Amino acid sequence: MREEKLTALILTVLLSIAAALYLFPVYWMVSTATKTRLDALSIPPKWIYKPTLEHFKAIFSRGSGSSFAHQLLNSFIVSFASTGLVTIFGSLAGYAFSRFPLKAKDDLLFFILSTRMLPPIVVIIPLAVMYRSLGLFDTRLGLIIAYTVFNLSFAVWMMKSFVDEIPKEYEEAAMVDGYSRLRAFLKFVLPEMRTGMVATAIFSLITSWNEFTFALLLTADKARTAPPSIAQSMGVSGTNWGYIAAGSLLLVIPVAAFTFILRKHLLRGFTFGAIKG
């Protein structure tokens, strides 16, 4: 009994240290965002200070170019739209790869994955040239397409492995019962795929939301998303860390909230195989 208590105590201490280490940057971000410029730079750091919202005000009333709020909206639209497309296409392709005897299936799957092997910076120049001539440069649609293509490869693989885990007997039983393949898919397979779809969506959303390279080089002002805009505010006349921290905080909140709401699915999604096994 005493030994168990001791183990629990040691574990609690270790986990508290780990949590403190992980959460410290978050604390730093929040405190910097709510400190005045002077407080933020004081050495030694001020632990007790009078909080201010001046940086948030600055963010939403920026003078030149589109406002941060507008860029946040761009981030929102681009990320959610591409996530929706990625989840739909990824699920359908994953189902097809899992269930149908396609010719050269392994080669196709490898090809799909190989699109992920090039770092974005390598493809960005030809892509930028193409985007300019197609009129997609500095448009939300352009970014949505880029993110969808970029995330789809992973989504296909992820969804394929999720569908692999669903016994194909479900839809076969349904087809024998008298349903068409499409109805069997919609009625019996899709509900089982939900967990996988949520996990894929979260992954895709986080990637698109945080994406930097494409956003920086395929947009100028109109369709610019939040991440490159934050980087841009590291100006020549010194860096306003409070402003950057406030921007980062605003950037973190939506995706953190989304993940928090769907965390049950996420946990089940990533341990899907383990639970089934």
Residues that bind other proteins (CB under 8 A): 167, 169-170, 172-180, 183, 188, 191-192
Q: How far is CA 29 from CA 39, 54, 59, 165, 254, in A?
A: 13, 15, 15, 41, 16
Smallest distance from other proteins to CB 9, Å? 37
Smallest distance from other proteins to CB 89, Å? 25
Give the nearer residue to other proteins in terms of CB position, either 6 or 102. 102
Give the nearer residue to other proteins in terms of CB position, either 80 or 188. 188
Cβ neighbours of residue 230 closer than 8 Å, sequence gap 6 or more: 244, 247, 248, 251
The answer to whether 60 touches 174, Cβ cutoff 8 Å, is no
Smallest distance from other proteins to CB 192, Å? 7
Give the nearer residue to other proteins in terms of CB position, either 45 or 191. 191
Smallest distance from other proteins to CB 271, Å? 17
194-233 exposure pattern, b = at least 16 Cβ within 10 A, e = fewer: ebbbbbbbbbbbbbbbbbebbbbbbbeeebbbbbbbbeeb
Smallest distance from other proteins to CB 182, Å? 12
Residues 44, 17: Cα–Cα separation, whole Å: 23
Give the nearer residue to other proteins in terms of CB position, either 97 or 188. 188
Q: How far is CA 33 from CA 39, 149, 242, 244, in A?
A: 11, 35, 5, 8
Give the nearer residue to other proteins in terms of CB position, either 150 or 188. 188
Give the nearer residue to other proteins in terms of CB position, either 2 or 276. 276
Residues 244, 32: Cα–Cα separation, whole Å: 9
Smallest distance from other proteins to CB 179, Å? 5
Q: How far is CA 235 from CA 63, 225, 231, 238, in A?
A: 14, 18, 9, 6
